[in-house]
Chain A
């Protein structure tokens, strides 16, 4: 029996040694497109929204241009349409990630019709079953609850993805995506994306529950600093679809912002280059973040 146990321990040890190769990847938060946001300390300022904001807004640029005027660190805490549309789960997760004592934070709340829409009946939010709804520890490194429950890639892909760096999550939460940007590739991706969003438009509705959660999110954040509602640039075809899907969306956002006394910046029709009609290219994301910083400085709330 003791020989068997000894040898099993040896085998487990060898396996554990083999897993050490993953150490640097995991400790640097490069497990997937989300993990790193749950390994840093609680934030003083946040960028919120879906993958558009995750890829489109670079906290480092905002910090460099506006640094010292808000409490850091500024973290991009935007995920995807599946995980972080506005709703009770995202609101709770934001509450966990935010340092409670912050009073001079900066909060960029990115909105679009999809992040306020819902498939199915009101009150049933699919993201409740994802890490956004279920992960309670959002600031620990390594984040074992996330790794054991939500890391779904086979382990070799952690190393491979790290080496190829198609996606790289920066420590400030910005998701840098390095994929081909020649016009043929972009056109093909845009066509596919448009098809996906047409299906979404056919099956979703603007949700009263999500709008209510957006208002609650803004109300919460206002207690901690300045809040700005932002609609990010998208490609013309997707914008056209969004206008057909929710023609009154812009007006609704203006009213929401006005009622909560926060500014609303609409960049949706600005001509920034995208990878797929939906997400900004890396260079466009830099340019947009610079423009956003410049515009923020001119806002009355900043004076």
Chain B
């Protein structure tokens, strides 16, 4: 079930109505039932997989809570890790590694019988809910979190429908106490959740899905579009598409949770305003980056080890993060690129400072910040090519042709180029551009203040003109026949 579907439009009000209408003790079971229904509406049989891993994680956590030492708890940690990571490996990575080993064997002329590929469909959201469970288990193992004794509550923590299929990846310490509390009907909070949902829907159906119309023809067939200007436009369009899509999804998820009385952590903080790549990763998909930081980077030693080991840790974390997004070389390169950016950024810090002194930029912090934002945006946008391309060959083709064809631009009308880019739908191009501008202006406006508080402080008439206007914009400009959110595939 997609957040932007008619199905969800019926499902969600029913769940909310029942939730606040039922006595408090029935609300948890209702949410659990609703969450499994939500998941089963995609492919019912995979709910069994979700249930099985939930049972195993609950059991592991419960047993660990009865054991005093880490050493005694360790077998249960391994059991849980094996089940979660094993599920991920079988459903997501088996064929990738099988092909990789086969190719490696062929390259070194070693006979290798790879065996048949697994024809399994990737369970939606599997990367998200397994990471959430793994985080919980590690926290319990480390003694940072008391194991949840109530199975229903734990199952709801894993399967809570607003964040089940694409995050944010929440922590047990943040969510489990919320599941224990009774959430009374709160008009202001519900309205604030609905506002967040409406804004998320705008970013998804007006901005992201419209940009997809421009991006897909180029990225699905780059060899038919070997002109640099077109490839740069498509890359820029994807840069904003993925932001609109994923941050739109997150706003919908956070808004839906807020309506039900729950708070999810912030997942995006104006990432394209970052002045460096490390800053970008503190603002983009925050729940995943912080997960990797806490459960992989720091246990590996983080930056408290020797310089080269620290660089190795960074690279390893980002390569694994790339692989987390998908079993494809393109994601691995994307992760490697970001890892490389971070290593270079850390290594070159003294040189950058010296350069800033030499050029006088150190005395002009605003200009230096602006240049940093521009450079970071360019690096991030370039890396998105590998994220979006269907295969490594396409990504390399696009990379190699980004700078070609610009010399012909003066002899060719820019309007013709744009028209070609928009597949002959000139209005769609204009709406896409306006949508991106609106999205960026609103997000920029909200960088130093709470937009929710700002909206709530406006006079009734102003607010309602805004609500009706946003509703009509979504209805009239929205594209409602699209496929799912990009991050559902991970």
Map CB proximity to A onto B461-479 as digits: 1 under 8 Å, 0 otherwise: 0000001100110011111
- B68 contacts chain A at the CB level, 8 A cutoff: no
Does B427 sit at the interface, judged by CB under 8 A? yes
Would you give the 0/1 interface string for A113-157, flagging 1 where the beta carbon is closer than 8 Å to chain B?
Answer: 000000000000000000000000000000000001000101111
Bound together, the chains give a CA A56 to CA B6 distance in angstroms of 38
Cα–Cα distance between A3 and B186 once the two chains are bound (Å): 11
Contacts of B427 in A (CB 8 A): 156-157, 160
A11 touching B477, Cβ below 8 Å: no
Complex alpha-carbon distance, A43 and B187, angstroms? 55
User: How far, in whole Å, are A154 and B430 apart by their CA atoms in the complex?
Assistant: 14
Take A155-B476, A156-B476, A157-B427 as given contacts and tell me if A1 and B20 are in contact as well, using a CB distance cutoff of 8 Å.
yes
B6 to chain A: closest residue by CB: A148
A250 → chain B, closest Cβ, in Å?
Answer: 34
In the complex, the answer to whether B185 meets A154 with C-beta atoms within 8 Å is: no
- B468's partner among A3, A11, A156, A160 (CB-CB below 8 A) is A11
On whether A155 and B475 interact (CB within 8 A), knowing A11-B467, A15-B468, A160-B427, the answer reads yes
| Count of inter-chain pairs, beta carbons less than 8 A | 39
Return chain B residues, CB-CB under 8 Å to A11: 467-468, 471
Among B190, B475, B478, the residue within 8 A (CB) of A19 is B475
A137-187 residues with Cβ-Cβ distance < 8 A to B are: 148, 152, 154-157, 160
B191 located at the interface, meaning its Cβ lies under 8 Å from any Cβ of chain A in the complex: yes
| B481 CB within 8 Å of chain A | yes
Bound-complex Cα distance A1 to B190 (A): 10
- Given A11-B467, A11-B468, A18-B468, is A3 in contact with B475 using a C-beta cutoff of 8 Å? no
Residue A4 lies at the interface, judged by CB distance under 8 Å to chain B: yes
Whether B187 and A4, one on each chain, are in contact in the complex, defined by CB atoms closer than 8 angstroms, is: yes
Q: A11-B467, A11-B471, A15-B471 are in contact. Are A152 and B191 (CB under 8 A)?
A: no
* Partner among B431, B476, B481 whose Cβ is within 8 Å of the Cβ of A152: B481
Q: Which of B6, B20, B471, B477 contacts A14 (CB 8 A)?
A: B471
Q: Which residue of B lies closest to A156 (CB)?
A: B476
- A4, A14, A157: which contacts B191 (Cβ < 8 A)? A4
* A154 to B478 CA separation, bound complex (whole angstroms): 6
Interface residues of A in 78-111 (CB under 8 A from B): none
**Are B20's CB and A18's CB within 8 A?**
no
Q: Convert B423-442 into 0s and 1s, putting 1 for each residue whose CB lies closer than 8 angstroms to a CB of A.
A: 00001000100000000000
Question: CB-defined interface of A1-42 with B at 8 Å, one 1/0 digit per residue?
Answer: 101100000010011001100000000000000000000000
Interface contact A4-B468, CB-CB below 8 Å: no
Docked CA distance A228–B468 (Å): 54
Q: How many Å lie between the Cα of A117 and that of B475 in the bound state? A: 39
Partner-B contacts on A (CB < 8 A): 1, 3-4, 11, 14-15, 18-19, 148, 152, 154-157, 160
Question: What residues make up the interface of B, taking CB atoms closer than 8 Å to A?
Answer: 6, 20, 185, 187, 190-191, 210, 427, 431, 467-468, 471-472, 475-479, 481
23 contacts between A and B (CB under 8 A): A1-B185, A3-B187, A4-B187, A4-B190, A11-B468, A11-B471, A14-B468, A15-B471, A15-B472, A15-B475, A18-B468, A18-B471, A18-B472, A18-B476, A148-B6, A154-B210, A154-B431, A154-B476, A154-B477, A155-B478, A156-B431, A156-B477, A157-B427
